[in-house]
Structure 1
Amino acid sequence: MITRRAHVTLLAASLLLTGCGGGAMASTAGTATPPGKTPATAPSPEISVEAAPRQIPGLGPKTWAEVPADARQAVVVTGRDRDSSASTVVLYERTAAGWQAGASWPAHNALRGWSDHHLAGDLRSPIGVYTLTDAGGLLKNPGTRLSYDRGPGFTSPGTGFEGEPLAGSFDYVIAINYNRRPGTSPLDWTRPLGAGRGGGIWLHVDHGGPTHGCVSVDEEHMKALLRALDPDLRPVVVMGDATSLAR
């Protein structure tokens, strides 16, 4: 009888994957930490205590309508422009006073920028609002309350578009629930929209250059995000170029 993890391994070996997670090998020795098992000891990083807006700045009515009413954490990724691979990441948390903003961190997105109809191999990051439920990495859980899968499947060999080494890029990852099945390891290659719509879109450790479709920040900030995100607060990622998010 084929186990679930073995099934994931077979799928990973047989599919052509074009997201940032596509270079990773399926985990055969990872361990999952169910949500809620890690003590909630780390506060959200650098959250402002000043008066906060009732709506996240920079989001227009169309984008704001996609943010679930019960979401109390939002990782906002704002691209410099439609065709740029440079972006910024800010973690917002909704409190009684409004949406409190954390620090702004530099980030990379896909080589060719952004798309509101992401396709496999287009080298653009998908625009939209997506839930965040699952994490993992090559290294041990740094203290996240998200479900965490650790194993050698998060190996990232080779070099990036600018010749930079990719080693360590998947030391910590958070799966973005674009064309994937929530509640599974980031290494689960199930594609509900079909393989043609891409997948393997993650938040992961920055390697110093553009990605295939993921969003990357430096290791310190990845660990801060992992420790801050709380499944009880229904976290989402809101991502796209500034013009698209303002619609």
Structure 2
Amino acid sequence: MLLDAQRGHHLTLPPPAIDHDVVRQLVLLLCAVLCAMSVTAVTAPPTAAVVDPWFANAVGFPVAATQVVSVVGVGHSTAKIDVYQRTPAGWEPVAAGIPAHVGSAGITPRTKEGEPSTPMGFYTLDSAFGTAPSPGGGLPYVQVGSDHWWDSDSKSPTYNTMQICKKAQCPFDTTASENLNIPQYRHAVVIGVNKSRTPGDGSAYFFHTTDGGPTAGCVAIDDATLVKIIGWLRPGAVMAIAK
């Protein structure tokens, strides 16, 4: 109510007119906002949790590494693989609980040529190869055939390296070496064991396709999962092996 100054009477003003079109538009807008918020809450992927993996503060771990394939023994010749990526926030899991096979003699602190054990430690994953075409990824990849070998002859100057030669013409002992044209090497990543190529300290350690049983010292998983990991790996990646 307002006071009429001239007549001294109180005046009652009518209520303001409601614009129903404006109200309807506001209601529709509010509904749209609430619906959008609801969909986002349901479909947004959860943020990966930052974890403190066993290798992070271990002696000898390469502090510059940003990708790690962790191999931890769970049985005599079996292991569990977890995959990690370092982010600005810390280590985040990429994959977990992948079943793996390791050497028939288990995971050991040290190994040497001819022993079917998988050595503990931290090793670079520098290159990949396989009988199948490259699945992509950031590592150099060689598609191998019957003339591709891994020299495991401790007396050879090319010990613990890939070589290409006809069997009869190879300058190293092929009976002590591996021909790479086998089903287990459909896809494989070279594990950097004995990169100094010290004679007798071990050769031909790979992260490769499993045949379902223990290995001669390598780490093996199913091929489909291995392909995904190879596609994810970049230079500087590390395999961390523990018992």
Partner of 1:77 in structure 2? 71
Deviations 1:186-207 (A, max 9, x none): xxxxx6221x111100000010
Q: Is the 8 A contact 1:49 1:100 kept in 2?
A: no
Q: Is the 8 A contact 2:55 2:61 kept in 1?
A: no
> Which of structures 1 and 2 has the bigger CA Rg?
2
Q: Is the 8 A contact 1:108 1:206 kept in 2?
A: yes
Partner of 1:93 in structure 2? 85
For structure 1, which runs of at least 5 residues remain unmatched after alignment? 1-46, 156-165, 181-190, 242-247
Partner of 2:215, secondary structure, is coil
Partner of 1:67 in structure 2? 61
Which of 150, 160, 166 lines up with 2:143 in the alignment? 150
Quote the offset at 1:66 in angstroms.
1.6
Q: Is the 8 A contact 2:129 2:189 kept in 1?
A: yes
For structure 2, which runs of at least 5 residues remain unmatched after alignment? 1-44, 150-180
1:139 aligns with 2:143: no
Once residues 229 and 60 of structure 1 are traced to their aligned partners in structure 2, the CA distance between those partners, rounded to angstroms, is: 18
Q: Is the 8 A contact 1:138 1:172 kept in 2?
A: yes
TM norm structure 1:
0.63
Quote the offset at 1:240 in angstroms.
2.2
Q: How many residues align?
A: 167
Name the CA shift for 1:80/1:96 in 2 (closer, same or farther; >3 Å): same
Identity of aligned residues (%): 28
More strand by share: 2
Name the CA shift for 1:48/1:95 in 2 (closer, same or farther; >3 Å): farther
Partner of 1:197, secondary structure, is coil
Quote the offset at 1:143 in angstroms.
1.0
Once residues 46 and 123 of structure 2 are traced to their aligned partners in structure 1, the CA distance between those partners, rounded to angstroms, is: 24
Once residues 51 and 97 of structure 1 are traced to their aligned partners in structure 2, the CA distance between those partners, rounded to angstroms, is: 9
Which of 143, 163, 172 lines up with 2:187 in the alignment? 172
Relative contact order (C-alpha < 8 Å, sep 6+): which is higher?
Answer: 1
1:217 aligns with 2:217: no
RMSD, aligned α-carbons = 2.3
Quote the offset at 1:96 in angstroms.
1.6
Quote the offset at 1:167 in angstroms.
4.9
Deviations 1:128-184 (A, max 9, x none): 0011111011111011210111120469xxxxxxxxxx952101000000013xxxx
Q: Report runs of 4+ in structure 1 exceeding 2 Å deviation.
A: 47-51, 58-61
Once residues 227 and 49 of structure 1 are traced to their aligned partners in structure 2, the CA distance between those partners, rounded to angstroms, is: 22
Quote the offset at 1:121 in angstroms.
1.8
Which of 198, 212, 218 lines up with 1:193 in the alignment? 198
Q: Is the 8 A contact 2:77 2:103 kept in 1?
A: yes
Partner of 1:227, secondary structure, is helix
Partner of 1:141, secondary structure, is coil
Q: Quick one: which amino acid aligns to residue 240 of structure 2? A: V
Quote the offset at 1:103 in angstroms.
2.6
Q: Could you tell which deviates more after superposition, 207-216 or 91-100?
A: 91-100
Partner of 1:226, secondary structure, is helix
1:109 aligns with 2:74: no
TM norm structure 2:
0.64
Once residues 64 and 96 of structure 2 are traced to their aligned partners in structure 1, the CA distance between those partners, rounded to angstroms, is: 23
